[in-house]
Amino acid sequence: MSVAASPAAGRENTSPGRPPALELRGIGKAFDGRPALADAQFSLAWGEVHAIVGENGAGKSTLMNVAAGVYAADEGEQTIDGAAASPRSPMEATAAGLGMVHQHFRLVDSFTVAENVLLSLGRRGAVRTIAQAGAAIIAKAREIGLPVDPSRVVADLSTAERQRAEIVRVLLLGARILVLDEPTAVLTEDEAKALLSFVRRLAGQGHAVVLITHKYREVAGFCDRVTIMRHGRTVLAGAAVSGLDEAEVARLMVGEALPAGSRPLSSAGPVVLAVAGLSVEARPHGQGLAGIGFDLRAGEVLGLAGVGGNGQEELVSCLTGLVLPQSGAILLAGRDVTTVPPRERRRAGLRVIPSDRFDSGLIRDFAIADNLALSRVADGAFGALLFLRRGRMRQTAAEAIDAFDIRGATPTVRTGLLSGGNAQKVLLARELDAGMTVLVAHSPSRGLDMKATQFVRTAIRRAVEAGAACLLISEDLPEVLALSHRVAVMNRGAIAGCRDIADVTPEWIGALLAGHA
């Protein structure tokens, strides 16, 4: 479903006949059998700023990772400046002139900027000492108009400064094509504007820049062309920005029609979870919580959509009780549990499905029966005095395996050996128990196949119909839309908009996801 593009008139200074800086044709890539890219196309001209836009999982980063040598494509062709290229490592890509600035910078935190550059440049070339590295950095910084102080330690730099250091490092390695992956995600508005202006200037000096982003509106004013991807395919290749309508872009990103799944909420019950003004300091490369607040009622599903990295992890950690917030309150059925340990929250009916099931949910080396019993042993469900009733644990496990149709499992099988879907079922079997009143589900069907995903959604739906409440946090937009009664978007550690499902339109949600408050 590609829309052919005509080269933009005006801001481009590619002389006719000059080959494109980067061209990707028919790129296909699958991980472990699951397709990430299918017949993806991309074409980049010298001197232009080109945005690749799309929802999470659309394949934008994957495509550029292929171009930058991080992944090898299963099929398709790539050319850099007209010559065929298939870089098998980032170093090869950089040698060919393509450098990528990832979301997680490849910098050694405790080194200075100059030391990091020296490390990358290695033993080749003219830069041999820290002093020479410093001089090279200052010269390049001046040349491109980006302030970077070579003597500062990376750990002390702000994220914006770190990003600038990384950009200079990549350029010093010889990149003429610069690919930036979600560069504005971690910047304030002013910083983002400064970066985008710089990118514009850089292109004007003869480089070519690719911006991978989901925030279309932010970059629209600085780009020449746009490519939109969805589900691993290119749905709009290299269209001139001037000819595009914002709403149209939002719709193309999200899809023509929303999956039917909206149902009216007959009557919302009492508020079972209230979060107000919750703030958590940001971790070094993360996003904290900025006074987030919302109410959750019995019998409803509140879906928090939004790209990861906007504070979702921190919110879940706070709600679980693993992290204490700096300020704000969490009320569970009216009771203040902000500083209360996880055990008490569980007793009050809180259940959590974390996004990484083996990180804080299940214990990989435990038998299924043990994982299922994990949360109830402390309450004496399997032996109140001394003796641990393993027989009872096995019995309970056998029942759960039956009820949840967990394949490849007996109570004594090590949980780490199960497939993703079955392991998730174990987690669900444990969490969706009789005492549950509030379920916090973070990306519950991530990494699961169709069947398992259906199972998870049905289980949640049933639990909510029985009177529980669910806070669904997911990057998978169709999932959020399919299950939720109300939909909100999480952005920069706070809620940016909330509506009943019946009032959600592609434009509204596309706009919020793209970063418009």
Partner 1 sequence: MDFLVGWIAIVPSYATPLLLASLGLIVCERAGILNLGAEGLMAVGAMTGAIAVLSGLDPWAALAAGAAAGTALALLFGLATVVMRADHTLSGLAVVAVGLGLTSVVGRPYMQKTFPGIASFGDLFDIDRTTALGRIVAVQDPVTLAMPVLVALLWWWLMKSGSGLRLRAVGENPAAADVAGIDVQLAQLGAVLVSGLLCGLAGAYLCVATSHVWVEGMIAARGWVAVALVIFARWNPARALVGALVFGSADALVPRLQAIGADIPVYLAMMLPYLLTLVVLVASSMAGRASGEPSFLGRIYLRQDKH
Partner 2 sequence: MLDAAFLVRRQAPGLLLSGLCYAGGLAFGLAVSAVLLVQAGVPAAALVDEFLIATFLTSDGLAQTVTAALPLVLVGLASAVAMRVRFWNIGVEGQLWLGAVASTWIGLGGTGPDALRLPAMLLLSAAIGAAWIAIPLVLKLRFGVSEVISTLLLGSVAFLLVQHLLFGVWRDPATGFPVTAAFLEAARFPSLGWGQLHGGLFVVGIVAVLVWFMLGHTRAGFYADAVGLNPKAARAAGLPATATVVGLVLLSGALSGLAGMTIVAGTEHRLNQSVGSGYLFSAIVIAYLAGARPFWVVVVALALGAVFTAGSVLKVFYGISEGMIVLVQGTVLISILMAQFFGTYSLSRPGRGEAS
Task: For residue 388, state whether it binds partner 2 (rule: CB under 8 A).
Answer: yes
Using CB under 8 A, pick the residue from 6, 13, 129, 197 that binds partner 1: 129
Reduced to 3 states, what is the DSSP secondary structure of residue 214?
coil
Other Cβ atoms within 10 Å of 103 Cβ, number: 15
Contact (CB, 8 A) for 83 and 18: no
CA–CA dist 121, 258 (Å, integer): 49
CA–CA dist 472, 413 (Å, integer): 30
Tokens (6 digits) for 246:
């914002």
Interacting partner of 256 out of partner 1, partner 2, none (Cβ under 5 to 8 A depending on kind): none
Q: Looking at beta carbons only, is 235 or 318 nearer to partner 2?
A: 318
Using CB under 8 A, pick the residue from 174, 291, 293, 342 that binds partner 2: 342
Q: Looking at beta carbons only, is 356 or 500 nearer to partner 1?
A: 356
Task: For residue 377, state whether it binds partner 2 (rule: CB under 8 A).
Answer: yes
CA–CA dist 50, 200 (Å, integer): 10
- Looking from the CA of 242 toward its CB, the CA atoms found within 13 Å total 8
CA–CA dist 89, 200 (Å, integer): 28
Using CB under 8 A, pick the residue from 152, 217, 231, 364 that binds partner 2: 364
Tokens (6 digits) for 402:
């039956």
Tokens (6 digits) for 256:
């023509």
Which of these, 212, 29, 186, lies nearest to 105 by C-alpha position?
186
Binding to partner 1, residues 81-120 (CB under 8 A): 90-91, 106-111, 115, 118-120
Contact (CB, 8 A) for 96 and 80: yes
Q: Looking at beta carbons only, is 110 or 412 nearer to partner 1?
A: 110
| # chain residues binding partner 1, by CB under 8 A | 17
Tokens (6 digits) for 264:
């009216």
Give me the least distance between CB of 66 and partner 2, in Å please: 9
Give me the least distance between CB of 106 and partner 1, in Å please: 5
DSSP tag of 283: P
Task: For residue 402, state whether it binds partner 2 (rule: CB under 8 A).
Answer: no
Q: Looking at beta carbons only, is 61 or 491 nearer to partner 2?
A: 61
Interacting partner of 365 out of partner 2, partner 1, none (Cβ under 5 to 8 A depending on kind): partner 2
Tokens (6 digits) for 351:
């259940």
CA–CA dist 300, 271 (Å, integer): 10
Interacting partner of 466 out of partner 1, partner 2, none (Cβ under 5 to 8 A depending on kind): none
Interacting partner of 128 out of partner 2, partner 1, none (Cβ under 5 to 8 A depending on kind): partner 1
Task: For residue 343, state whether it binds partner 2 (rule: CB under 8 A).
Answer: yes
Tokens (6 digits) for 323:
């992290």
Task: For residue 151, state whether it binds partner 1 (rule: CB under 8 A).
Answer: no
- HEC profile for 90-115? HHHHHHCCEEEECCCCCCCCCCEHHH
Segment contacting partner 2 by CB under 8 A, of 135-143, 257-265, 347-355, 496-504? 347-355
Q: Looking at beta carbons only, is 173 or 337 nearer to partner 1?
A: 173
Q: Looking at beta carbons only, is 38 or 118 nearer to partner 1?
A: 118
Pairing of strands 438-442, 469-473: parallel
Contact (CB, 8 A) for 52 and 40: no
Task: For residue 191, state whether it binds partner 2 (rule: CB under 8 A).
Answer: no
Task: For residue 95, state whether it binds partner 2 (rule: CB under 8 A).
Answer: no
Write the interaction track for partner 1 spanning residues 247-276; mark x where CB under 8 A is met and - where it is not.
Answer: ------------------------------
Tokens (6 digits) for 201:
């200037």
Task: For residue 106, state whether it binds partner 2 (rule: CB under 8 A).
Answer: no
Task: For residue 122, state whether it binds partner 1 (rule: CB under 8 A).
Answer: yes
Using CB under 8 A, pick the residue from 365, 399, 405, 503 that binds partner 2: 365
The arrangement of strands across the sheet holding 225-230 comes to 98-101, 177-181, 208-213, 49-54, 225-230, 233-240
Phi, psi of 79 (to 5 degrees): -130, 145
Using CB under 8 A, pick the residue from 322, 324, 403, 502 that binds partner 2: 322
Give me the least distance between CB of 89 and partner 2, in Å please: 4
Task: For residue 370, state whether it binds partner 2 (rule: CB under 8 A).
Answer: yes
Tokens (6 digits) for 502:
């019946």
Interacting partner of 388 out of partner 1, partner 2, none (Cβ under 5 to 8 A depending on kind): partner 2
Give me the least distance between CB of 108 and partner 1, in Å please: 5
Give me the least distance between CB of 407 and partner 1, in Å please: 27
Give me the least distance between CB of 302 and partner 2, in Å please: 21
* Distance from the first to the final alpha carbon of the chain: 31
Strands (E) across 138-249 are located at 177-181, 208-213, 225-230, 233-240
| Binding region for partner 1 (CB under 8 A) | 90-91, 106-111, 115, 118-120, 122-123, 128-130
Which residues of the shown chain bind partner 2 in the complex (CB under 8 A)? 29-31, 69-74, 88-90, 320-322, 341-343, 346-347, 352, 354, 358-366, 370, 373-375, 377-378, 382-383, 386-388, 390, 416-417
